[in-house]
Amino acid sequence: MINPISAQLLMPLQRDGNLLNLFGALESVAPELRHLCSVFARPSGMICDGLHIHLNSGSQRAARKPQVLSLSLLKLDDQRLMAVLSDVSEQVRRERQLRQNDAWLNALLTSITDYALVGLDSDGRVSEWNTTIERVTGHAESVVGRPYSVFYPDDATTPEQLRDRLREADQNGWSLKEGPSVRADGSQFWSSAMISPLPDRDPDTGAEAGANGLPDDGPAYCMVVRDISDKRDAIEKRHKAVFCDHLTGVGNRRAFFEAAELELNRNRRAPRPTALILLDADHFKRVNDRHGHPAGDAVLRHLGQLLTATFRQVDVVARVGGEEFAVLLPSSTLEGAAIVAERLRQLVAARPIVVDGVPIELTISAGIAASDGEQLQLDVLMKRADRALYAAKEQGRNRIACWTPPPSAHPDNPPPTRDV
């Protein structure tokens, strides 16, 4: 007995239409079948399970589209056999393609010397290790499972920004970032890191589709890390020309407003707290009047250095006015920003700044505002921090004030700031 589907599969092998004997029909492509049955000694049982029979022969075997049948043979008793035939050509073709992709990737991995090719899972954790990762970053296999922040200095990025990059890669097809990176031994280098989503991912789960269409555990993103330390000078020079304040070396107004707009835009997509500190040197006119304008400049330069040393690399420090600085702190709350600002205030007040051997006393005041994940425009945040700064000055200077929402609009209520 033979069913129509099996007959259809066997027909191309037996052009005279004689399908009465399975072994005869398959003689040319699976001559071992008769032998398999004759050596099967048990009275019943599975003789072969999913045996692949390649129908392409000779040079055709290497054809891109294999024709493969799967055969399972069950011995029912001494007189009867049952055969199950199915066409597995597509499955075999996919498996072959996957093996080919693996071979390609391996060839790439062994011949590339100045790139690290890092596979990331859908949460941004390193999913596989290879020698290129060790060559560029020094990380051993134990890096597998760690978030890709492991390649960046601790304070150079936030978990939210790392997630932003994966989202950006999903939306645009890639996300590129140049900046400081860190090796396993703690030494820093300048890197260019491109993240791209790998194809065939299930958009809902982020998981990659396997050969059978089901998700598997393969990487969801590919991250290519290049050591571009030799280009760092040229990149920084270009960056400085556009984004640096010529006097203090911190960011200029453009750097601040561009970075702040970008961060608040990202907040709109993935809410997280963001804090803003406006900082102003107290009675700076007196510094200029007593010590001269060049000494005033030196004091501002010194203040810029203190700010850079106090805040994280991920914070955006900029001079936004004559003796006024602004700091944007991604993923920071009002309280967190106030602690750092207070530390800076104490540092400045504790020791005079020495210019050409002359000690110059200086204090600073700061106003802080924060968005707690709510969608705030930058000008609103700026206005709030400015009101808090004004309050700090009004209350005697050399202090930090935070903007807090007024309890109600009643005129008898206290002003919407609090001292730290």
Ligand X SMILES: Nc1nc2c(ncn2[C@@H]2O[C@H](COP(=O)(O)OP(=O)(O)OP(=O)(O)O)[C@@H](O)[C@H]2O)c(=O)[nH]1
Q: Which residues of this chain interact with ligand X, rule CB under 6 A?
A: 247, 280-285, 288, 293, 296-297, 300, 322-323, 393, 397
In the bound state with ligand X, the residue whose beta carbon lies nearer, of 218 and 292, is 292
| Structure-token pair, residue 173 | 């097809």
Query: What are the φ/ψ torsions at residue 373 (nearest 5 degrees)?
Result: 90, -10
In the bound state with ligand X, the residue whose beta carbon lies nearer, of 138 and 292, is 292
At closest approach, how far in Å is the CB of 310 from ligand X?
Answer: 20
In the bound state with ligand X, the residue whose beta carbon lies nearer, of 322 and 352, is 322
Amino acid at 51: L
At closest approach, how far in Å is the CB of 346 from ligand X?
Answer: 18
In the bound state with ligand X, the residue whose beta carbon lies nearer, of 223 and 389, is 389
At closest approach, how far in Å is the CB of 276 from ligand X?
Answer: 18
CA distance 332 to 272: 8
In the bound state with ligand X, the residue whose beta carbon lies nearer, of 27 and 324, is 324
SS percent in the chain: helix, strand, coil, step 5: 40, 25, 35
At closest approach, how far in Å is the CB of 363 from ligand X?
Answer: 9
At closest approach, how far in Å is the CB of 382 from ligand X?
Answer: 17
In the bound state with ligand X, the residue whose beta carbon lies nearer, of 247 and 262, is 247
**E strand or H helix at 355:** strand 353-355
CA distance 137 to 286: 51
Query: What residues contact 249, with CB distance under 8 A and at least 6 apart?
Result: 301, 304, 305, 308
CA distance 331 to 314: 10
At closest approach, how far in Å is the CB of 392 from ligand X?
Answer: 10
CA distance 396 to 391: 9
- Under a CB-based contact definition with an 8 Å cutoff, are residues 176 and 193 in contact? yes
